[in-house]
C-alpha cells in the first residue's frame, strides 16, 4: 500500500531562504575551480546552520517543513538506501571494467564528512527550493512538473561537469518524489554524501579528498 503524500506546507514563499539559496549557488559558480573549494563548503555550512538555528527560534515548525525530522526516519530511509545499494554496485562494476577501482583509507573520512555537505545541499534543493516551488499553484498541482523542475535545478548547479550534472539530475529524479512523500532530508543527505564520494572515486576517477586537501 502506497504511503500518502505529505501535505504541502502552508504560507507564502520564503523569499529570504530562496535568496540565500540563490546566493549560495552563485558563490559556488564563482569559487569553482576544477574541484571542491573547502572554504566555500565550510562557509556555506556555517551560514546555513546559523540560518536554521535563528529561524527555528522564531518558528519551531519550520524544521519539519524543511525536512529535519526523525518521526518517520525508518520509512523515509528505505528508498534512499535501496537506491544507494543499486547505484554503488553499478559504479563499482564500472570502475572495475575501466581499471580504476579503488577505495583509499581516507575514503572513510569522505563517507563520514561528505554527508554533512550532502544534507545541506538537500535542505537547500528540497526543503527550500522544491518546498517553495510547491507553493506555486501550477507546480503544486502538477507533481511531474515539480519533480522535473527540482531535478533541473539540482543538476544545473553542478555544471560545467556534464557527467556530474547528469548523475545529480538522475539522483534528483529519485529524491524529489521521496521528499514529497516523506519530507525528510536526513537519509537523502546521508546517501548523497556516500554516493558523491563513490561517484568521484569510481565514475570520475578522482579523489576529492586529495584534490581538496592535497
pTM: 0.90
3-state secondary structure 68-106: CCCCCHHHHHHHHHHHHHHHHHHHHHHHHHHCCCCCCCC
Is the peptide bond prior to 160 cis by the omega test (within 30 degrees of 0)?
A: yes
Neighbours of 136 (CB within 10 A): 13
Q: In order along the chain (214 residues), what is the average pLDDT of each group of 10 residues?
A: 53 90 91 73 95 92 94 96 97 96 92 95 96 92 94 90 90 96 97 94 88 68
pLDDT of residue 160: 80
Give Cα 177 distance to the centre of its chain. 13
Domain ranges of the chain: 15-213
pLDDT of residue 69: 95
Alpha carbons 101 and 48: distance in angstroms, whole number:
35
What distances in angstroms separate CA 27 from CA 20, 43, 92, one per listed residue? 10, 11, 32
CA end-to-end distance (rounded Å), the chain: 50
pLDDT of residue 34: 57
Amino acid at each position: 500500500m502506497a504511503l500518502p503524500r505529505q501535505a504541502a506546507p502552508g504560507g507564502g514563499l520564503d523569499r529570504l531562504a530562496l535568496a540565500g539559496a540563490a546566493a549560495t549557488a552563485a558563490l559556488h559558480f564563482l569559487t569553482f575551480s576544477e574541484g571542491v573549494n573547502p572554504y566555500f563548503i565550510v562557509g556555506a555550512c556555517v551560514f546555513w546552520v546559523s540560518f536554521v538555528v535563528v529561524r527555528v527560534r522564531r518558528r519551531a515548525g519550520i524544521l519539519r517543513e524543511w525536512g529535519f525530522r526523525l518521526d518517520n526516519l525508518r520509512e523515509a530511509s528505505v528508498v534512499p538506501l535501496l537506491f544507494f545499494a543499486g547505484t554503488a554496485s553499478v559504479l563499482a562494476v564500472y570502475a572495475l571494467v575501466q581499471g580504476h577501482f579503488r577505495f583509499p583509507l581516507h575514503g572513510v573520512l569522505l563517507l563520514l564528512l561528505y554527508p554533512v555537505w550532502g544534507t545541506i545541499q538537500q535542505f537547500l534543493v528540497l526543503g527550500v527550493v522544491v518546498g517553495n516551488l510547491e507553493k506555486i499553484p501550477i507546480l503544486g498541482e502538477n507533481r511531474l512538473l515539480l519533480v522535473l523542475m527540482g531535478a533541473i535545478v539540482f543538476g544545473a548547479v553542478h555544471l560545467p561537469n556534464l557527467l556530474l550534472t547528469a548523475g545529480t539530475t538522475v539522483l534528483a529524479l529519485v529524491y524529489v518524489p521521496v521528499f514529497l512523500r516523506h519530507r525528510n532530508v536526513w537519509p537523502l543527505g546521508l546517501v548523497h554524501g556516500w554516493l558523491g564520494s563513490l561517484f568521484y572515486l569510481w565514475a570520475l576517477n578522482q579523489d576529492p579528498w586529495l584534490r581538496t586537501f592535497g
